[in-house]
């Protein structure tokens, strides 16, 4: 059984077919690239998996559990973490606080427990800080934890966002254009980071990216979308030589 199974999902917005019959099976430790021109439906796939939108038809199954109709917070708790196309960093908070705000305490506090620092609350807060430090370490930003994010490069802001996505201790990580705005050196660092966390934590990673060099170099399988349809699925080599892909997408890049 695959860790994540997306079975024939479709999503329309009025007359627009944003996703038409999209399927994918991802095993733990695999990286799946999703590419395609603007408006091909890539982000809508992520929004449907993570519960921002409900699929019109089809289903999303995580570790054998159907999560298609669950609310976003439950999907996150079950192990789907994501980053967004636009960087979402809170400027008034430190780097560590930016990561910590994604912490989901396991203990329920009463109103009283929320106001008074009870031992249970202390314990949870400590666990949250430990997790935030662990994931800042993983992305190589531990030494900057007390800094404010406004002076960080895009590359480092992306790392903070990845650390924040890891706070839900995901099984599946959805990365939406993580290389947007990065310098070539930052793209190389990001590529190494994605590879490393995929091996270290055994996540299934779904990666939407316009930087084809990045996608081609790290994806086990690449799904090529065009106007909501999947026009090819294969290895980097296979999709690069696929005529429909060359015409619809790669051709437009040359
Ligand atoms: P990009 O590479 O530019 O981010 P994309 O492949 O991620 O594009 P989507 O953002 O998924 O594409 O959009 C797919 C189609 O669905 C587009 O035509 C878009 O305008 C439409 N769409 C997406 N979200 C909505 C919405 N909430 N309401 C109406 N139309 C939408």
User: DSSP 3-state assignment of 137?
Assistant: helix
| CB of residue 48 inside a 6 A radius of ligand 1 | no
Separation of 125 CA from ligand 1 center, angstroms? 38
Report the pLDDT averaged over residues 139-162.
93
List pLDDT tens digits, range 48-97: 999 999 999 999 999 999 999 999 999 999 999 999 888 788 888 999 99
CA distance 35 to 103: 31
**Domain check: are 167 and 232 in the same one?**
no
Name the residue of 9, 10, 13 to mutate for ligand 1: max ligand atoms within 8 A of Cβ. 13
Asked whether the beta carbons of 45 and 228 are under 8 A apart, the reply is: no
Neighbouring C-alpha atoms within 13 Å toward the C-beta of 50: 23
**Domain check: are 87 and 168 in the same one?**
yes
| CB of residue 42 inside a 6 A radius of ligand 1 | yes
| Residue 142 resides in a domain | yes
Which residue's alpha carbon is nearest to atom 10 within ligand 1? Answer: 43
Boundary residue ending a domain (155, 178, 201): 178
Q: What is the model's pLDDT at position 109?
A: 62
**Domain check: are 231 and 164 in the same one?**
no
Say if residue 246's pLDDT is above 90: no
Say if residue 118's pLDDT is above 80: no
Residue 103 belongs to domain spanning: 80-178
Q: What is the model's pLDDT at position 254?
A: 45
Residues 101-120: b if buried by 16+ CB within 10 A, e if exposed: ebbeeeeeeeeeeeeeeeee
Q: Which of 122-131, 155-164, 212-221, 244-253 has the lowest mean pLDDT?
A: 244-253
Q: Which residue has the tokens 């430190």?
A: 94
**Domain check: are 99 and 167 in the same one?**
yes
Q: Which residue has the tokens 């990673």?
A: 205
Largest pairwise CA distance in the chain: 65
Q: Which of 15-24, 34-43, 90-99, 112-121 has the lowest mean pLDDT?
A: 112-121
Comparing C-alpha atoms, which of 223, 220, 232 is closest to residue 194? Answer: 220
Name the residue of 40, 47, 227 to mutate for ligand 1: max ligand atoms within 8 A of Cβ. 40
Between 150 and 111, whose confidence is greater? 150
Percent of the chain with pLDDT over 70: 93
CA distance 69 to 158: 29
Q: Which atom of ligand 1 is nearest to the CA of 36?
A: 6
List pLDDT tens digits, range 185-224: 999 999 999 999 999 999 999 999 999 999 999 999 999 9
Report the pLDDT averaged over residues 24-52.
96
**Domain check: are 220 and 164 in the same one?**
no
| Residue 91 resides in a domain | yes
Separation of 17 CA from ligand 1 center, angstroms? 9
How many domains is the chain built from?
Answer: 2
| Residue 72 resides in a domain | no
**DSSP secondary structure, 79-121, as one string:** TEEEE-SS----TTS-HHHHHHTT---SSPPPHHHHHTT-HHH
């Amino acid at each position: 059984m695959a860790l994540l199974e997306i079975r024939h999902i479709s999503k329309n917005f009025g007359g627009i077919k944003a996703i038409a019959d999209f399927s994918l099976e991802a095993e733990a430790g695999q990286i799946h690239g999703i590419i395609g021109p603007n408006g091909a439906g890539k982000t809508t796939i992520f929004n449907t998996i993570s519960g921002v939108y409900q699929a019109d038809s089809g289903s999303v199954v995580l570790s054998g559990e159907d999560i298609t109709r669950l609310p976003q917070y439950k999907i996150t708790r079950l192990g789907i973490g994501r980053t967004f196309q636009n960087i979402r960093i809170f400027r008034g908070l430190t780097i560590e606080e930016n990561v910590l705000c994604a912490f989901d305490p396991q203990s329920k506090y009463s109103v009283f427990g929320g106001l008074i620092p009870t031992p249970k609350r202390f314990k949870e807060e400590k666990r949250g800080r430990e997790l935030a430090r662990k994931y800042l370490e993983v992305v190589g930003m531990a030494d900057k934890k007390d800094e404010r994010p406004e002076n960080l490069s895009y590359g480092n802001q992306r790392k903070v966002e990845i650390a924040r996505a890891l706070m839900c201790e995901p099984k599946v990580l959805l990365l939406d254009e993580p290389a947007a705005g990065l310098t070539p050196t930052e793209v190389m660092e990001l590529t190494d980071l994605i590879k490393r966390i995929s091996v270290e934590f055994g996540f299934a990673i779904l990666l939407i990216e316009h930087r084809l060099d990045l996608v081609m170099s790290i994806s086990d399988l690449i799904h090529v979308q065009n106007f909501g349809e999947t026009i090819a699925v294969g290895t980097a080599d296979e999709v690069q030589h696929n005529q429909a892909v060359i015409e619809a997408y790669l051709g437009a890049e040359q």
